Amino acid sequence: MTVETKKETYLNYVNGAWVASTSGETKPSLNPANTKDVIGYVQMSTKEETDQAVAHAKVAQKAWKKLSGNDRGTFLYKAADVLESRLDEIAECMTREMGKTLPEAKGETARGIAILRYYAGEGLRKVGDVIPSTDSKALMFTSRVPLGVVGVITPWNFPVAIPIWKMAPALIYGNSIVIKPAQEAAITLAKVIECFEEAGFPAGVVNMVTGSGSVIGQALTDNPDVNGITFTGSNGVGKGIGQGCLARGAKYQLEMGGKNPVIVAADADIDLAVDSTISGAFRSTGQKCTATSRVIVEAAVYETFKEKLLAKTAEITVGDGLESGIWMGPSASESQLNTVLHYIEKGKEEGATLLAGGNRLTGEGYDNGFFVEPTIFENVTSDMTIAQEEIFGPVIALIQVNSLENALTIANDVEFGLSASIFTSNIQSMLSFVEDMEAGLVRINSESAGVELQAPFGGMKQSSSHSREQGEAAKEFFTSIKTVFVK
Ligand code: TAP
């Protein structure tokens, strides 16, 4: 690797320096709202470069773990301050790079700052318990120790929040990290890494290598010096990473897809249910893992709910997320747009009725981007592809049911179990939902999307490897328990 000044091509950050890949290969990062706007170039790095980053991380971790939690926290607080000072610039880069609207990008960056501060504080919280020994002359206690080097593999849909909710806990508990961001959002992450650089983290503690998942992600999965991998992304990729880690005895954490239902009971506040459905399904162009994709409505209120939903959907302004007044941006990439259009066709083929949207948007302001209309299907049955597979786009499947029991059966009739919500004013319905809904996040009278940084987050069934991220729960993955017996 040769050291270069960082220009339009965003370099790797390894052992405290920005370095060019020997591959010489780059890919342009294009604005999905206007592909004539090139944000910069992302390097397609090599397996060898990934392994070098891991080797540096391994050396650096030995001194990093010796610092007190308080001292490690100081670096996180500094990174938060730097990120805060660059919030507007980084949010704008996020909007240009992956399309979510500027207010959403600003909100996400602010969330990243809050997560850094939360985990900075973790450096002063307890890392063990005293357990009474059967030997009255002995002291027995537990302590938490870092894993070592953690590989971080992230998706493009939350380019700031997801990397930070993995990196911050990894670092505070004494691990070093090598992060491989999604190609579609690598420049935004490079800017976040610049904040870590400015915060003065010791060389080698934080490293970033960009490139293709099948090269860099695979290299992290296979490297025996990577002690744990934390991954968020699709099920297919996640399972491969899990198998690779299992084969060599590394710890892994996988957060994957969702097919999140909303149940609207006959006794629901319909206006609230409509607003929350719109927000859950169409914000971020439906590209949240917790996005609402199935709306299961009791027959007594179905027509009212549907009419209000259609009226509100018609008000949605779609366009370049940098422009004020735009509520929904483009799909993040051409392939994502094609996936959404493919599922819309599938819905029509399988007999669902298209009520709204269904098309790629064309014309002035749209032709150079990947815009799709907010889309609603009705007459959807649970066995249809659009009711079973994750679309990751602004598509709602409306399902009518004649009882809440039926609604819950359908809500659970998918392989995923990430988030779910119900709208009802009946306490018994709420409690049944909490008890029987197979999802890691259940929300009542609130949209399916939305997590709080201080609370555990993760899925059930095929949505997760069953560990949890965020809040205190992150400690479970990023540390091992050591039981100590002293006599
Ligand atoms: P993926 O295509 O799975 O990509 C995720 C990351 O894995 C990217 O960095 C990707 O690199 C990398 N990768 C690809 N192939 C790999 C391999 N063979 N080995 C190791 N890494 C590899 O997902 P995506 O399209 O970015 O994100 C959308 C998915 O993420 C959806 O399914 C969504 O539900 C899920 N998601 C889940 C959550 C939670 S918390 N459950 C949150 C957000 C998103 P490239 O960029 O090179 O492809």
The candidate with the shortest Cα–Cα distance to 393, out of 285, 257, 260, 232, is: 285
Contact 35, 368 (CB under 8 A): yes
Give the position of tokens 């890691």. 440
Dump pLDDT digits (tens) for 237-247: 999 999 999 99
Closest CA to 277 of 245, 310, 246: 310
Judge whether 260 and 291 are in contact, CB under 8 Å: yes
* Ligand 1 nearest-atom number relative to CA 237: 3
Q: Residue 279: what residue type?
A: S
Which atom of ligand 1 is found nearest the CA of 181?
9
Q: 108: Cβ below 6 Å to ligand 1?
A: no
pLDDT at res. 411: 98
Averaged pLDDT score across all residues of the chain: 97
Q: How far apart are CA 1 and CA 21, in angstroms?
A: 6
25, 43, 153, 287: residue to mutate for ligand 1 pocket, most atoms within 8 A of CB: 153
Q: Are 61 and 149 in contact (CB under 8 A)?
A: yes
Determine the pLDDT at residue 7.
42
**Ligand 1 atom showing the smallest separation from residue 464 Cα:** 41
Q: Are 455 and 165 in contact (CB under 8 A)?
A: no
The token pair that represents 328 in the structure block: 């929904």
Between CA 288 and CA 295 the distance in angstroms is 16
Atom of ligand 1 nearest to the CA of 258: 34
What are the two backbone dihedrals, phi and then psi, of residue 367, each rounded to the nearest 5 degrees?
-60, -30
Residue with tokens 């004649």: 402
Distance 253 CA to ligand 1 centre (A): 13
Q: Given strand 292-298, what is the order of strands in its sheet?
A: 353-356, 375-378, 395-401, 292-298, 260-264, 419-423, 441-444
> Measuring CA to CA, how many Å separate 29 from each of 37, 164, 297?
9, 21, 41
Among protein residues, the one with the nearest Cα to ligand 1's atom 34 is: 257
For residue 14, the model assigns a pLDDT of: 98
Which is it for strands 139-146 and 479-486: parallel, antiparallel or unpaired? Answer: antiparallel
The answer to whether residue 431 scores a pLDDT higher than 90 is yes
Residue from 29, 43, 157, 179 whose mutation best tests the ligand 1 pocket (most atoms within 8 A of CB): 157
On the 0-12 / 13-18 / 19+ scale of CB atoms within 10 A, 378 is buried
How does pLDDT run across 371-415, given as a tens digit for each residue?
A: 999 999 999 999 999 999 999 999 999 999 999 999 999 999 999
Annotated catalytic sites, by residue? 255, 289
Rounded to the nearest angstrom, the distance between the alpha carbon of 74 and the centre of ligand 1 is 31
Of all atoms in ligand 1, which is nearest to the CA of residue 155? 26
Q: Is 189 in the pocket of ligand 1 (CB under 6 A)?
A: no
Chain length of the chain: 487
Atom of ligand 1 nearest to the CA of 244: 19
As a whole-number percent, the residues of the chain with pLDDT over 90 amount to 98
Query: 187-213 pLDDT, tens per residue?
Result: 999 999 999 999 999 999 999 999 999
Sign of CA pseudo-dihedral 295, 299, 301, 306: positive
Asked if 318 and 273 touch (Cβ cutoff 8 Å), the reply is: no
* Mutate-to-test residue for ligand 1 from 166, 210, 234, highest number of ligand atoms within 8 A of CB: 234
Encode 316-346: b = buried (16+ Cβ within 10 Å), e = exposed. bebbbbbeeebbbbbbbbeebbebbbebbee
Q: Other C-beta atoms within 10 Å of 211: how many?
A: 27
Question: Are the C-beta atoms of residues 299 and 402 closer than 8 Å to each other?
Answer: yes
Distance 217 CA to ligand 1 centre (A): 10
- What is the mean predicted confidence (pLDDT) over 421-437? 98
Q: What angle do CA 274, 279, 285 make, to 5 degrees?
A: 130
CA distances from 155 to 50, 233, 369 (A): 18, 5, 21
241: Cβ below 6 Å to ligand 1? yes
390 touches ligand 1 (CB under 6 Å): yes
pLDDT band for position 450 (50/70/90)? confident
Q: What's the rounded Cα separation, in Å, for the pair 353 and 380?
A: 8
Evaluate: CB of 11 within 6 angstroms of ligand 1.
Answer: no
Cβ(385) – ligand 1 distance below 6 Å: no
Residues 53-64 have pLDDT tens digits of 999 999 999 999
C-alpha separations of 367 from 31, 150, 327, 360, 370 in Å: 13, 42, 18, 10, 8
For ligand 1, say whether the CB of 156 is within 6 Å of any of its atoms: yes
Q: Which helix (H) or strand (E) holds 388?
A: helix 385-388
pLDDT at 161: 98
- pLDDT exceeds cutoff 70 at 120: yes
Residue with CA at minimum distance from ligand 1 atom 26: 155
User: Which residue's CA is minimally distant from atom 23 of ligand 1?
Assistant: 233
Per-residue pLDDT, 281: 98
Q: What is the pLDDT of residues 2-36, one digit of tens each?
A: 444 444 899 999 999 999 999 999 999 999 999 99
CA angle 39, 40, 44 (to 5 degrees): 135
Q: Does the structure show a pLDDT above 70 at 277? A: yes
The beta-carbon contacts of 400-405 under 8 Å, at least 24 apart in sequence, are 400/297, 400/299, 400/302, 401/296, 401/297, 401/298, 401/299, 402/298, 402/299, 403/298, 404/263, 404/265, 404/298, 404/429, 404/432
| 445 Cβ closer than 6 Å to some ligand 1 atom | no
* pLDDT for position 134: 98
Mutational pocket test of ligand 1: of 212, 235, 237, 466, the residue with most ligand atoms within 8 Å of the beta carbon? 237
Give the per-residue pLDDT at 1. 44
Separation between Cα atoms, residue 177 and residue 196, nearest integer Å:
12
Residue ranges in 99-234 assigned as alpha helix (H): 102-122, 161-172, 186-198, 218-222
Least confident of 6-15, 174-183, 432-441: 6-15
